[in-house]
Each structure stands twice: as structure tokens, then as C-alpha cells.
Amino acid sequence: MIRQIALRIFQGLVVGVTVSTLTFVLLMSMPGDPAVNIAMAQYGEDGLTMERVEFVRNQSGLSQSSSKLYLTWLCKTLRFDLGRSMLTGKPVVESLIFHLKHSMILAAAAIFISLFLALPIGILAGLRPGSLFDQCSAAFSSFLVSMPGFVLGACLILIFAVKFSILPAAGFHMPQNIILPSITLALGLAAVSSRVIRTSVMEVQSSFYLLFARLKGLSSFRIFRDHGLKNAAIPVITFIALQLSHVLDGVVVLENLFNWPGIGLLLLDSIRARDLTMIQGITLIIGLIYVGANLLADLICFYLDPHSTEKGEVP
């Protein structure tokens, strides 16, 4: 088991460095001059002059060759130093911690609410497939999945912030700021995960071991609690781990709408400004998060089904 964990950590580092390297190559091969973007972000569009562009180029190290720039970054990264943002001059780690903290808060709240909704809906629909409840939940799920998060978020803002003035429209500095973005995100997540849970429960319901338990004369509730839940949870947990990774870095539209300073918004701003050191730091961290979330899911699956390691399935 420890060997497997060590392997995953190694995998994570390889993924992170590979993704960052690819990002560097892509950014450097993009048309345009990164120094122009950084100068514009620093001085504003009105203050952009070529003299300032050259000043920024020298100050940020962009006057070096691409290979030297990359090797400097790699050597620093191997010493656990992600350098300083070319745009703000602040340590990259400082910005990453601030934005990652907000992304994690949002992700945790959204996944918690989504599970709160999806678990009962998915289990009930899976236990009674084809029933009216199942059909209604499928229709509601399709509706939420097809509705863009931006539209759903804007509707919630109009109702709860503009119409009734009981929640803030946007921001991040008050506890209640988390409610609308997390609900918006959670509704989209619950729409999908409730269907995954339903399918998983249906598969478990039709399994041989549940039939055997019924033949033993156990009650339906006890059969599902003792034998169904754990088995049905395995694919669901893997799916939630993927959702977690997506929620951490892939909800930039919602972060923008609610002005929530997550890692997605930081990435967007950094790409706009072509802040190379920051973009590489973010891609490295996102790579590590994906591997970390998968490792966590594997560990939970191992806890739920220890036989899986014997069969060589997970981790």
C-alpha cells in the first residue's frame, strides 16, 4: 500500500512538471510578446509605452532566452521555490495559497450540498427505477445539466440578492458570500452525481450477493445498509474525486460571476497577462491536485473494498 502511495506521489510530480513544461512551451510559442501583456496589466492600457515594455522585460527576466528562463524556473521548482509573479512581484506561493484556499472552500461547500441533494435522490431513484420519482429526478437532472452555470447563478443572484436582498450578489469576504456560488455549483454537480448514484444503486440491487442476502430472509433496509451502500459507493467516490478536481480549477465562469477569487480566476488573469511564473505554478499545483484527488479516491475505495488490492484493481 505504501509503495502504491509513493508511486502516486511520484506520478503526481511527473504530471505536474510535464504539464508545466508543456504550458511553458505553448506560452512561449504563442504569438505576441509577454512583456507587452505584463506591462499593460501593470500600467493599464492607457499607460502602455514601448519604453515601459522594455523596462518590464528587463525587470521580469523576459530578456533572457526561453531555455534559460525555463531552466531557472525548473531549478527553483526542484528546490520547492516557485519564484515570484512577473506581474505583481509577489511570491507565487503567496497568491496560490490565497486562491487555492478560496477554491477549496467553494469546492467543499459545493460538493457537500450536492451530496446532500444527490444521495437521497439517487438512492431513491435507484431503488425504484422507472417510478414517477425516478422520471421526475431524471427530468430535473437534465434541466439542470443543460442550464449553463452562468445563467443559473444570475437567476439566483436576481432572486436572493436583487429581489429579496437577503444574500450578497458577489464577493468573498463575508461568510454568507459562499452561499450563492456554492448552491449554483452544487445544483449542477448534483444533477450528474444523482444519476451516477442511481445507476450504481441499480447495479448493486441486481447483484448476486444481494439476491443471496434476500434469500437469507434479511429485511430490504438491512440488506441495502449492510451490503448495498458500500458497494454502490465505490464508483460514486471515484466520480466525486473527478468532480472535486473539476470544481477546483474548472469553474472560472462562476468565479468570475460571483467575484470569487478561486484558482480558476487566478489562472485566467495570469493567462491574460502572460504571467509565465504564475501560470507554471498554477498548472503544477492543478496537476498535483488531480493526482491527489485520485489517490484519495483510491484510498477510500480500498477502505470500502479491501479485496480490490488483492485483485490488483485499485489502487
The pattern of x and - marking residues 185 through 224 that bind other proteins according to CB under 8 A reads ----------------------------------------
Q: Which of 6, 7, 22, 33 binds other proteins (CB under 8 A)?
A: 33
For residue 241, the minimal CB distance to other proteins (Å) is 21
The pattern of x and - marking residues 266 through 305 that bind other proteins according to CB under 8 A reads ---x--xxx-------------------------------
Give yes or no for residue 88 binding other proteins (CB under 8 A).
yes
Task: Give the DSSP letter of residue 1.
Answer: -
Contact assessment for residue 266 and residue 278, using Cβ atoms and an 8 Å cutoff: yes
What is the rounded CA–CA span in Å between residue 40 and residue 130?
A: 58
What is the rounded CA–CA span in Å between residue 178 and residue 174?
A: 8
What is the rounded CA–CA span in Å between residue 196 and residue 114?
A: 13
The pattern of x and - marking residues 253 through 272 that bind other proteins according to CB under 8 A reads ---xxxx-x-------x--x
What is the rounded CA–CA span in Å between residue 250 and residue 254?
A: 9
Residue 313: other Cβ atoms inside 10 A: 13
Give yes or no for residue 123 binding other proteins (CB under 8 A).
no
Tell me the backbone φ, ψ of residue 49, rounded to 5 degrees: -135, 160
Give yes or no for residue 90 binding other proteins (CB under 8 A).
yes
Q: Which of 8, 52, 128, 246 binds other proteins (CB under 8 A)?
A: 52
Q: Which of 15, 161, 242, 252 binds other proteins (CB under 8 A)?
A: 161
Alpha-carbon distances, residue 290 vs 119, 175, 196, 302, 313 (angstroms): 24, 27, 20, 18, 19
Read out DSSP for 49-106?
A: -HHHHHHHHHHHTTTS-HHHHHHHHHHHHHTT---B-TTT-SBHHHHHHHHHHHHHHH
- Shorter beta-carbon distance to other proteins: residue 24 or 258: 258
Tell me, by CB under 8 A, how many residues bind other proteins. 56
Span interacting with other proteins, options 21-29, 137-145, 168-176, 300-308, rule CB under 8 A: 168-176
The pattern of x and - marking residues 53 through 72 that bind other proteins according to CB under 8 A reads x-x-----------------
Q: Is the dihedral of CA 115, 199, 214, 300 positive or negative?
A: negative
Contacting other proteins within 141-160 (CB under 8 A): 154, 157-158
Contact assessment for residue 236 and residue 193, using Cβ atoms and an 8 Å cutoff: yes
Q: Which residues bind other proteins (CB under 8 A)?
A: 31-33, 36-37, 40-53, 55, 87-90, 98-99, 112, 116, 154, 157-158, 161-162, 165-176, 178-179, 256-259, 261, 269, 272-274
